[in-house]
Chains A and B, each alone.
Chain A
């Protein structure tokens, strides 16, 4: 079982603040890192798939970076809005195995 860790487990930010959180994974046999946005009672939305060390992806106010050598990915949200409130889940693909992190629950306070 691969240990994919996310931190913090939860956070509350004020509307307009920028925030970021981390996904850590073992760097051996790494193939890809996925980020999902999961609102309550809805199916998760795929945000990014990153494979190369140094990859940076952006989607609107959300961006992500990848460091495969040290085994981490950061997700950034610029100017948080209440609609950004959700659980952000990362998942690591190694070989043909898919391992999910525990998620970061974000609450944006109006």
Chain B
């Protein structure tokens, strides 16, 4: 297995644009997590899914953020409209007994 795959690895976008981050979990894993990491705020758990169902989205900062998991092999995190303060590294992780993390997407909103 190639591990947890995130795309894109880097994204630079203008303020106000829609941004979609993608995550492909490891096959067979039943939980998926989205994290955001910044120097200012540190590590934040945004949302996690279990069996494709969102369990806890209390970490989603604003209505501009939304996450979906239409099937067991794919999840998206969307920001619409994006703002400069959304600039961060966004990590996805999947787990079944042990968690594995993707390489992250570095988002820069200018």
User: Within 8 Å of chain A (Cβ to Cβ): is B108?
Assistant: no
Q: Which residue of A lies closest to B51 (CB)?
A: A96
Q: Which stretch from A37-45, A59-67, A74-82 is at the chain B interface?
A: A37-45
Establish whether residues A89 and B43, one from each chain, have CB atoms under 8 Å apart when the complex forms: yes
Of A44, A46, A96, the residue contacting B30 (CB under 8 A) is A96
A97-B50 in contact given A41-B106, A103-B43 (Cβ < 8 Å):
yes
Establish whether residues A41 and B98, one from each chain, have CB atoms under 8 Å apart when the complex forms: no
Of B39, B43, B56, B98, the residue contacting A1 (CB under 8 A) is B56
B98–chain A nearest beta-carbon distance, Å = 7
Of B31, B39, B42, B103, the residue contacting A98 (CB under 8 A) is B31
Establish whether residues B102 and A87, one from each chain, have CB atoms under 8 Å apart when the complex forms: no
Range, interface on chain A? 20 to 34
User: Within 8 Å of chain A (Cβ to Cβ): is B76?
Assistant: no
User: Within 8 Å of chain A (Cβ to Cβ): is B99?
Assistant: yes
Establish whether residues A41 and B42, one from each chain, have CB atoms under 8 Å apart when the complex forms: no
B31 contacts across to A, CB distance below 8 A: 97-98
Establish whether residues B101 and A32, one from each chain, have CB atoms under 8 Å apart when the complex forms: no
B103–chain A nearest beta-carbon distance, Å = 6
- Could you mark each residue 71-107 of chain A with 1 if its beta carbon is under 8 Å from any beta carbon of chain B, else 0? 0000000000000000101010100111010110100
Q: Which stretch from B14-22, B63-71, B78-86, B89-97 is at the chain A interface?
A: B89-97
Of A46, A87, A93, the residue contacting B97 (CB under 8 A) is A93
User: Within 8 Å of chain B (Cβ to Cβ): is A49?
Assistant: yes
Indicate the member of B30, B33, B99 with the most A CB atoms within 10 Å. Answer: B99
User: Within 8 Å of chain A (Cβ to Cβ): is B110?
Assistant: no
**A-B residue pairs, 7 tightest by C-beta:** A98-B95, A43-B101, A103-B43, A41-B89, A87-B43, A44-B101, A98-B31
